[in-house]
Structure 1
Amino acid sequence: MSDLDDLIRLYFRLSFSNKEILSILAHSHQKVISVRTLKRICKRLGLFRRKNQSNLEEVLAFVQQEIMTNGQMQGYRWLHLRAIQHGFVVSQDTVRCIIKLVDPQGVELRRARRLRRRQYSCRGPNALWHMDGYDKLKPYGIAISGCIDGFSRYVLWMEAYTTNNDPKLIASYFLKTVSCINGCPERLRADRGTENGCVEQMQMFLRRNHTDSFAGEKSFLYRRSTANQRIEGWWATLRKQSAQFWMNLFQSFQDDGHFTGDFLDKSLIQFCFLNLIQDELDEVVNTWNSYKIRPSGSAASGRPVVMYSFPELHSAEDRLKPISMEDITLCMEECSTKGQYPCDETVFELCCLLMVENEWDAPGDPLGAADLYIRLREEILQSI
């Protein structure tokens, strides 16, 4: 099977239109084909948008499985894209009807939470990045840090860890991203939290020799967290698509007397759930970056990954600023990365020992992690 087949299958599964697939193939892979050739390849690979619809029972089982976990917070457009990415051929209307059938209460709850948003405009990708921390899971020991591009709403990083207050750790997320894309944003916006100090200095350092009107000190903006519109909008999406599920789960631990908020309980939450939450963050980000954003005021609309990678399709210009690897290397010396363990090392070793002794498997889903958390907690408290 050719590389071209693999690429077309990938972008088709991401629910990209034929025009978007052709543009990405030409710009990113130097593979220029016609619409007719693309359609012929899709037919040969069995890739259809409407023809050969998937078995409804299988689609129903998929939607039910999603709704059992974080899917209970998601709308039909989001779940439709998730279904397409899992290889189903199904219409949005079918997914909407299934959700209405199996989760009518969730439909009404989502319907009651519509927001009227402020207008926002940005000149192009990498003109302005929005960076912030998400603290809704922090009472349970999980802190999230993220950054989003203002023009495209492409999520640049989204990291879950035991803290989002360490300036050197946040700086490592920033440097990992700018190193990957070989450039830094024209400007970066964050609130005045002390955790953003290193990123501020590094952004201004990387921009010190540029000659545009936002170079140097003007390349970093401090704003109140509530005014950091793009990232605040993303937190609302994250809560609906994922975080609310975890908040409800951890709150149920607290209500049932299985969580007190002390050091041990937070460490056990981190041990059992941190990797699962990071995996789910990655899934939500991948889905969001491929999700087609509807028009809203003067803001550009489309798929974040396409708007970010191909701004010319939206009459915009990439504002990425070039940087040298020597500067990145210098900045890296001032960073710290995530630790080897998802929680306190002593608690980690104790949990691993108990799992081996009792032949408990590592959890692969939230329900398994919840069961492991309660077992570990009971075992440890009995031995104290």
Structure 2
Amino acid sequence: MGHPRHDLLQYSHEISRLYADGRTVSQIVDHLREEYNIQVSTRTIERRLKEWKQLNRKYEVIETDAMKDTLIMLFQIGVDDREILRVLREQGHRISLHGLATYRRRLGMRRRISREEFEAAKERLKIIIQEELDSGTMKGFGIRHVYTYLWNKGYFAARRRHDLQRTRGEYKAYGPNYVWSIDGHDKLAHWGFQIYASIDGYSRYITWIYVGISNRAAFSILRQFLDTLHSTNKQPRFIRSDKGSETIYLAAAHYALCRKHKENSQISDCYWYGTSTSNQRIEAWWSQLTKSLLFTWRDYFQTLSQHRLFIRDQRNRPDGVYGRPFMLYHFPSDDTVDYSIRPDSELLSQFLDRTTPWDIDEYLPSETLHWCQSTLDELGFSNIELKDIFPSGEHQHCEAYIQLRDCIQRHITSGIEPNLEETKPPTQEHGFHPDLDAIVDEIYDTTDIEEVNYSSNL
């Protein structure tokens, strides 16, 4: 007499899911025994999977461009296959763990390589790095930046796993979008490049960054904030900044939008002030950015200034949660709360409509920009890149700048058309929007905004 036939149909979905997740048949047998006290053989599970047409579907992958882009992006930042699988399934892609690994390897993204492949890749990498060092584009970068840089160039390299598991000191935070820290950066402001950015206090993810002609105009900071809310449809619970005049309209807009969710809220319920140096999250990121990238351009502009090649001065001037900022912000764990709120679409649209006439990305008026581009073309500098070097060793972009500067000076002296000029930073007096104007007056008069030391509150 044979073994009694178990009714496994009611468990078919769970068994199929376990199999698709990469569990072996023996592991599925153990799971049924431990969870449901069902005794079956491995042959029974194999037979049922075949009946349910799952056995031969284990390795099928429905490939799409979106899945490929997500896989490449997550592998690039060091996410393991199980986490990648979780994200892909949340996005609606049907794929098994084994299928994911097979697809990843087919794209050239390997977790392990043979010793022969490693030695060949190492020699190739030496050549590539030397070429990039000679071009001056990798100076000052740490190992993670170098890895990402080479990845963006199309070179895949296996990384030692323990290098991806280094942790930071303890830091108490509540979840994504609980607080955004905002501040400006002036290391390149002397040469006309002003920077402003926002960082999520929980994940260290950069929610926006602006490079342009105005990081100290309240109208500009407001527009950056509104554009971010419009593109993400997310608004943080708190914003943290130093108490400067450039954030007054942003604070008013954030407060007005928050009151759409909680009518009787106070400004201190959604906004924190404090000194710039105690704004721990954004200050730490500025330090990393300066050490890894900005110093190269600062040195370049200082060289131009020291040789009197710059046209003129510009008048305007430790702890954390574990994980990668991108994953912590966009794909937090199930027990982590996303504190974002949806900004009121009607009020947000009203604010955006008032800022629309100003192009936040414009650096030069269109007529001036066209004249400069045409002049560079005539000088033979149509498509130069930072890595382009003359046989003498001089960078071509430096020579292009010097020649363009001389042409601009001659053109201005001649007095002929067109009239070359810079884009003026935006200015805005009272009258921007009734709701914001009233709140701005309230903020200026109130003592209710809490001055906080960010590191002691989270």
Give the Cα–Cα distance (whole angstroms) in 2 for the partners of residues 70 and 236 of structure 1: 19
Q: 1:2 aligns with which of 63, 68, 73?
A: 63
Structure of larger gyration radius = 2
Residue 321 of structure 2 is aligned to residue 321 of structure 1: no
1:72 aligns with 2:139: yes
Counterparts of 1:294-313 in structure 2, within 5 Å, are: 299-312=320-333
Q: Retained in 2: the 8 A contact 1:178–1:184? A: yes
| 1:319-376 Cα distance to aligned partner (Å, 9 max, x none) | 0012221121011133354357423666535423422443431433274432211111
Aligned to 2:406, which of 372, 378, 384? 378
Pick from 25, 37, 44: which aligns with 2:88?
25
Question: What is the CA-CA distance between 1:203 and the residue it aligns to?
Answer: 0.4
CA shift in 2, pair 1:338/1:145, >3 Å: farther
Equivalent in the alignment of 1:47? 109
Q: Deviations over 1:32-84 (max 9, x none)?
A: 53322221222333321232446334422432354443521211232123323
**Inter-partner Cα distance in structure 1 for 2:84 and 2:263:** 34
Query: Which string of whole-angstrom CA distances, capped at 9 and with x for unpartnered residues, describes residues 174-207 of structure 1?
Result: 1111122212100001112211111101100110
Alpha carbons 1:205, 1:216 under 8 Å: kept: no
Counting only pairs closer than 5 Å after superposition, residues 1-384 of structure 1 correspond to structure 2 as 2-3=63-64, 4-27=67-90, 29-51=91-113, 52-53=117-118, 55-67=121-133, 68-92=135-159, 120-211=171-262, 216-259=267-310, 261-262=312-313, 299-312=320-333, 315-335=335-355, 337-338=358-359, 341-343=362-364, 347-365=368-386, 367-382=395-410, 384=413
Q: Contact 1:190/1:228 (CA < 8 Å) preserved in 2?
A: yes
Relative distance call for 1:212 and 1:311 in structure 2 (3 A) is farther
TM-score (ref. length: structure 2): 0.65
Larger deviation, residues 221-230 vs 326-335:
326-335
TM-score of the pair, normalised by structure 1: 0.76
One-letter amino acid of the counterpart of residue 98, structure 2? R
Q: Distance in 2 between matches of 1:44 and 1:365?
A: 33
> Structure 1 residues 40 and 262, CA, compared in 2 at 3 Å: closer, same or farther?
closer
Instruction: Check conservation: 1:80, 1:91, Cα contact below 8 A.
Output: no
In 1, Cα distance between equivalents of 2:137 and 2:289: 10
Tell whether the 8 Å contact from 2:184 to 2:195 is kept in structure 1 after alignment: yes
**Cα shift at 1:210:** 2.6
- SS of the aligned residue for 1:55 comes to helix
Aligned to 2:426: none
Q: CA deviation at 1:255?
A: 1.4
Q: Which has the higher helix share?
A: 1
Preserved CA contact (<8 Å) 1:207 1:216:
no
1:293-337 Cα shifts (integer Å, max 9, x gaps)? xxx65x211111100012225x42100012221121011133354
Letter of the structure 1 residue corresponding to residue 373 of structure 2: C
Q: Aligned to 1:133, what secondary structure does the other structure show?
A: strand
CA distance in 2, matches of 1:333, 1:205: 16
Alpha-carbon distance in 1 for matches of 2:361, 2:241? 28
3-state SS of paired residue (1:147) = strand
Q: Distance in 2 between matches of 1:351 and 1:193?
A: 36
Distance 1:214 1:236 in 2: 35
The aligned counterpart of 1:277 is: none
Does the Cα contact within 8 Å between 1:131 and 1:147 map onto a contact in 2?
yes
Structure 1 residues 230 and 37: alpha-carbon distance in aligned structure 2, compared to 1, 3 A threshold: same
Unaligned runs of 5+ in 1: 97-116, 267-295
**Paired letter, 1:370:** C
Question: For 2:264 and 2:132, how far apart are their aligned partners in 1?
Answer: 48
Contact 2:182 2:241 in 1 (8 A): yes
Bigger Cα displacement from structure 2, 39-48 vs 162-171:
39-48
**CA distance in structure 2 between the partners assigned to 1:124 and 1:319 by the alignment:** 6
Give the RMSD, CA atoms, in angstroms: 3.0
State the 1:160 CA deviation. Answer: 0.6
Q: Give the corresponding residue for 2:419.
A: none
Q: Structure 2 unaligned segments of length 5 or more: list them.
A: 1-61, 388-394, 414-458
Asked whether the 8 Å contact 2:192–2:213 carries over to 1, the reply is yes
User: Per the alignment, in what secondary structure is the counterpart of residue 259 of structure 2?
Assistant: coil
Q: Matches of 1:5 and 1:262 in 2, distance apart?
A: 47
Q: How far off is 1:212 after superposition? A: 10
How much has 1:133 moved relative to structure 2?
A: 0.6
Report the identity percentage. 26
Structure 1: which amino acid aligns with 2:106?
R
In structure 2, the CA distance between the partners of 1:57 and 1:382, relative to structure 1 (3 Å rule), is farther
